[in-house]
Structure 1
Amino acid sequence: MDTELPLADELAIVFARLSNVLLTEETVANALTLITEAAVLAVDDAAGAGVSLMDSTGNRSSAASTSDIVAQADNLQYDLGQGPCLSAWASGYPVDISDVRTDLRWPEWGMAADDLGLRSCISVPLLSGDLAFGAIKIYWKEPKAASHRLIRLLELFAAQASIFLVNVQARERGRMLSEQLKSTLTQRDIISTAKGIVMANRGIGSHDAMLHLMTRALKEARTLREVADEIIQTTQGLGT
């Protein structure tokens, strides 16, 4: 990438390639994959990139990576409980490691990353307001001194990626709630229909019909929905 371009222009070029696709993504997993690919495009000579999403206890909830070696390096951080990604998330600030062989902040992870063939890394937190909910990291196979320009570029990139992820997560949660609501309404309608059939067949009131359904479900060790489905199917069968 032309390093003479202003940072805003560099970032615009990268996201212009993927923004239309990202805006149409309906799942966090797909958006993560696209974001890691965009991160590799944003820098030179990267071995790969990864995104980690973490809960309030620091446990990874979701992740994506551009290669197996990145996934292995990330998993080592989670297993060992140390590394630049976890530190960026915990502090809310960018963390860089120019050479795993000389940086002693995370000795176990550094040795393991070196064994994988990775020598340097920059990790930037994903922020929603003041809350860090994950981190994006880029690895190199050679030692790399992190310039202020490169870190600033990744900070701007992470800020844009955070907006995409927050929007996609909200959309995904909304869709899940919508599906749950539809399922609940469907179940309610089925049980209500079965109750009406019992009322008509037995000549009893609403309360007694519901009690009949619940008693039968308990006696047969089935759900209320299963009992209701059977009553409706049986009635439909008699009507044909």
Structure 2
Amino acid sequence: MDAYHADAATADSVLASPEDAPAVVKKVARSAATLSVERLAALVTAMGGSISDEDHLVVVLQRAVEIAHEAIDGADSCGITIVSGGRTFTAVHTDARTLQVDAHQYEIGEGPCLHAATTGETVRVDVDSADARWPQFIAAAKEEGVRSFLAAPLYTPSERFGSLNIYGRRPNAFTKQDEAAVDALTAALARAIADYARFRHARDLADGLREALESRAPIEQAKGMLMAIHRIDADAAFQMLAENSQRSNRKLRVVAKELLAAVSGVDAAAADETAKEPS
């Protein structure tokens, strides 16, 4: 067995459970010489198989920021920016700080995440060295307590559509190994997303994601219900929903709402409206 196939076989073993993902990413980050995109591609597959609709894509993106947050030392806040079809927004995030820093960046129209998303270049920079480059944004980021940035582009073979963004509260929080690991994670995401995105125009992709973000409540409730009924974790519960969606060729949110109605009579449409209300 050659080294390539040996590594692929190892990936199947190591990534038997999605819970192993942070450890795998951390191990890869510490050894740039053996960086394995195949392992990270297998990780994305373990998150739910091929991406079938916008609901599924949102869950995969959320899982990606959680993995980055857990695995990268110094990653205090993580999120994904979508720049597609004339729209710019934060699709998923780990905390409120991510949203605040992103909002400053979008309003000002400059910063590391927008640079990564539009140029395809990975950005690893400290606030002091970036002050002259993006003065308005850096001033706003300092007010939010952010001192370091790591942003990698999200892309498909045909277009760039966003960036994976990591913020650190301490100066020089990220290393070349962290950069290599994030590049590998975004490459793996690109593999998972490419087939789905190939059939969508940029504006359709952006609009679909926005709609999916507004319809997450039933999916999260259905996942919780399956976790309780089957005593499984969140990833396994989502896998059950995704497989049902793919078998029946229906959107994930439709499958989730039907499950809620069948098991508990929850009005998922009302749950959607509740989820949209400010807390």
- Of residues 127, 134, 145 in structure 2, which corresponds to 1:99? 127
Q: TM-score normalised to the size of structure 2?
A: 0.53
How far residue 44 of structure 1 moved from its aligned partner, in angstroms, is 0.7
Q: Which amino acid aligns with 1:33?
A: Q
1:42 equivalenced with 2:68 (yes/no) = no
Q: Does the CA-based 8 Å contact 1:54-1:60 persist in structure 2?
A: yes
The CA RMSD measured in Å over matched residues stands at 3.3
After superposition, give the CA deviation of every residue in 1:45-71 in whole Å (9 maximum; x if it has no partner). Answer: 2112111121143x2155111111011
Instruction: Answer whether contact 1:14 1:38 (CA < 8 A) is retained.
Output: no
> Could you tell me the TM-score, scaled by structure 1's length?
0.61
Q: 1:69 to 1:167 in 2, by over 3 A?
A: farther
CA distance in 2, matches of 1:32, 1:4: 23
1:23 is matched with 49
Q: Which is further off, 33-42 or 79-88?
A: 33-42
What is the DSSP-based 3-state SS (H/G/I as helix, E as strand, rest coil) of the residue aligned with 1:50? strand
Deviations 1:128-155 (A, max 9, x none): 1252111111110011165333222211
Correspondences of 1:124-203 after superposition (within 5 Å): 124-129=152-157, 131-144=159-172, 146-167=174-195
State the structure with bigger RCO (CA 8 A, min sep 6), 1 or 2: 2
Q: CA deviation at 1:157?
A: 1.1
The percentage of counterpart residues that share the same residue type is 23
Asked whether the 8 Å contact 2:116–2:163 carries over to 1, the reply is yes
Aligned residue for 1:23, secondary structure, equals coil
Structure 1 residue 29 displacement after superposition: 1.9
Instruction: Give the number of equivalent residue pairs.
Output: 175
In structure 2, how many angstroms separate the alpha carbons of the residues matched to 1:152 and 1:4? 9
Distance of 1:152 and 1:163 partners within structure 2: 17
1:51 paired with 2:62, answer no
Q: Cα–Cα, structure 1 residues 142 and 161, in superposed 2: closer, same or farther, change >3 Å? A: same
- 2:161 counterpart SS class: strand
Q: Tell me the SS of whatever aligns to 1:72.
A: helix
Distance 1:115 1:21, change over 3 A: same
Output the amino acid matched with 1:39: A
